[in-house]
Structure 1
Amino acid sequence: MTPTLVQHRPRAASSAQASARARDWAEIQERMLVPLYEAVYERLEVGSGTRLLGLGCGSGLALLIAAGRGARVTGVDTDRERLALARERLAPAAGGDAGARDAGARDAGAELLEGEVSAAAVPAGLTYNLVTAFRPIGCAAGDTEDLGPELEAAVTLAERGGAVVLAGWGPPDRCATSGVLRVAGRPADRMRTAGGWRPALRDDLEDVAAKAGLKPDGSGRVSCPFGYADMESAVRGLLSTGLYATAIQASGQSEVEKEITEALHPHRRRDGTVWMPNMFRYLIARTP
């Protein structure tokens, strides 16, 4: 595969804070969605015949699990810091310079690309039989619209009848984390700025699939509890999702951390751990 799968967007230089957020995502938060990844892969019998394109692959845990089942995986993300961690995870051997690690990932059947999917730049004949968008939609204002163009481009890379998987938050009353995510919206609402939290809607996934020209072919629900060793880890993990960026811009880092901590108190156990049961949905759709 060539690196022309994506078109790069100009980015500001990465900061120490952005790198720390990416590391917190990889080490604390991303594992919360493992039950979702495994449920989807089991249902679709992901294995050696699978050619998977992961949209918003982040630090690569979902790709790593698929590769472990024998799939050939390609991951695309615009977050340079998370993608660097994905390269470390998917390289078969530790150590060596960045170029050596990239070569190792390719030898293992993994390709990790920074940018946005561009169907027009893909070499003729390159297709996937599974496209995943595991980044949950249905909790941030505008997230369904944001996914649309990328999904439509990815669909053109999928073979006819290929599976496309979308993931989203379950009903707010089945997701204890919903109350904590509301913190992402409150400062933004006071400032009347775009972004922030919104409640998940019943047909979020179906609406996105329909706009991309996909035909639903099954769905499921998966329990994905969020569990943290202590309050500090919980705050760091939640901040690493990026859902609080607008709130931080509106009210400042310390204020948002304070509000998240307050919202987490009902979920703190006597031993200091934090536990929030959640339900996630996934939709399997087919390309025309």
Structure 2
Amino acid sequence: MTPTLVPGRPGWVGGPTAQADEDAGRARDWAEIQERMLVPLYEAVYERLDVGAATRLLALGCGAGLALLLAAARGAAVTGVDRDEWRLALARDRLPAHAAARLARGGAGAAADPAASAFTVVTAFDPFAPAAGRVAELTAAARLARRGAAVVVAGWGPPERCATAGVLGAAADAAGRDDLEGLCRAAGLRPDGGGRVRCPFGYADLDSAVRGLLASGLFDAAIAATDRVQTEKELTEALHPFLAQDGTVRMENVLRYVIART
């Protein structure tokens, strides 16, 4: 079935500015370094929900499209929305060349299509997503879903089993580490199970680890408050306990997901 990304503004590429270059580079770091760390989560959820040819999936915060690609490979019809236009450009490149991808920078409302049937699965996979606004996003997505559809929300697992959350510190708390069920209920959804998935984060070296985690966007406030150099320095220090003798970095994590029903 045809993967779809919702259309966006013309001229999304922006100008040849330093900020545009930085945003584009961060999107590439997300796609090339960080996003793949979440594959065990994607696959576990798709297997549990039997995602396949009968599935019409909406991915909130679809990022650079890896989760969409995996769902499409199972035969699902997929729609992705994201507020980062640079990630969406990479998502378009990742989808099959014959798929007429449409791109948009937006939230769930951008996925509305009166001509299409309601979604049967909605995913909000990104554990780095800020908690602020998540309820409104889930509420809007639920309106586009079929009655009884599965809405999946993911987040950090128990602190003692989630090394990366400790490295992120207050930033992980801001992303909403704990009450996924509460988020669902606040959005008018009915929690209906869930699970935990082992998602180790492994990097070739400290530089890759820093770049991957900075690409999450969780450190933007720290960079604005101080500067990038200072933020990178502090993040590098926090990662040192996970540095192996061969120079690689590995953090063991368990991520949680909740399945709710519309």
**Structure 1 and Structure 2 fold alike (TM over 0.5):** yes
- Secondary structure of the equivalent of 1:135? coil
1:227 aligns with 2:202: yes
SS of 2:104 mapped into structure 1: strand
Could you tell me whether the CA contact under 8 Å between 1:105 and 1:111 is conserved in 2? no
Answer yes or no: is 1:169 the counterpart of 2:160: no
- Residue number in structure 1 paired with 2:142: 155
Paired position in structure 2 for 1:261: 236
User: Any gaps of 5 or more consecutive residues in structure 1?
Assistant: 93-103, 186-195
Partner Cα separation in structure 2 for residue 220 and residue 112 of structure 1: 32
- 2:99 aligns with 105
Task: Provide the C-alpha distance between the structure 1 equivalents of 2:20 and 2:85, rounded to a whole number of angstroms.
Answer: 11
The one-letter amino acid paired with 1:118 is G
How far did residue 146 of structure 1 move?
A: 1.4
Larger Cα Rg: Structure 1 or Structure 2?
1
TM-aligned CA distance change 1:154 to 1:284, over 3 Å:
same
Tell me, yes or no, if the aligned pair for 2:5 and 2:102 is still in contact at 8 Å. no
Query: Hey, what does 2:88 align to over in structure 1?
Result: 83
Identity %: 60
Q: Which whole-Å CA distance do the structure 1 matches of 2:166 and 2:154 have between them?
A: 20
Residue segments in structure 2 that go unaligned for 5+ positions in a row: none
SS in 2 for 1:58: coil
> Which residues of 2 match residues 12-27 of structure 1 at below 5 A?
15-27=20-32
Cα RMSD (Å): 2.6
**CA deviation profile, 1:145-204 (whole Å, cap 9, x unmatched):** 31111211110110010110000001111111123202xx4xxxxxxxxxx442787751
Residue 116 (str. 1) matches residue 91 (str. 2): no
Alpha-carbon distance in 2 for matches of 1:225, 1:203: 19
Matched, 1:34 2:78: no
CA contact (8 A) 2:206 2:236 kept: yes
Shift of 1:112: 4.2
Give me the whole-angstrom Cα distance separating, in 1, the residues matched to 2:192 and 2:180. Answer: 12
Instruction: String of CA shifts for 1:86-107, please: whole Å, max 9, x gaps.
Output: 0000032xxxxxxxxxxx323x
- For 1:1-288, list aligned pairs within 5 A: 15-92=20-97, 104-106=98-100, 112-118=103-109, 122-123=113-114, 126-136=117-127, 143-182=130-169, 185=170, 196-198=171-173, 203-287=178-262
Equivalent pair of 1:52/1:129 in contact (CA under 8 Å): yes
Q: C-alpha separation between the residues in 2 aligned to 1:146 and 1:115?
A: 13
Q: Is the 8 A contact 1:231 1:274 kept in 2?
A: yes
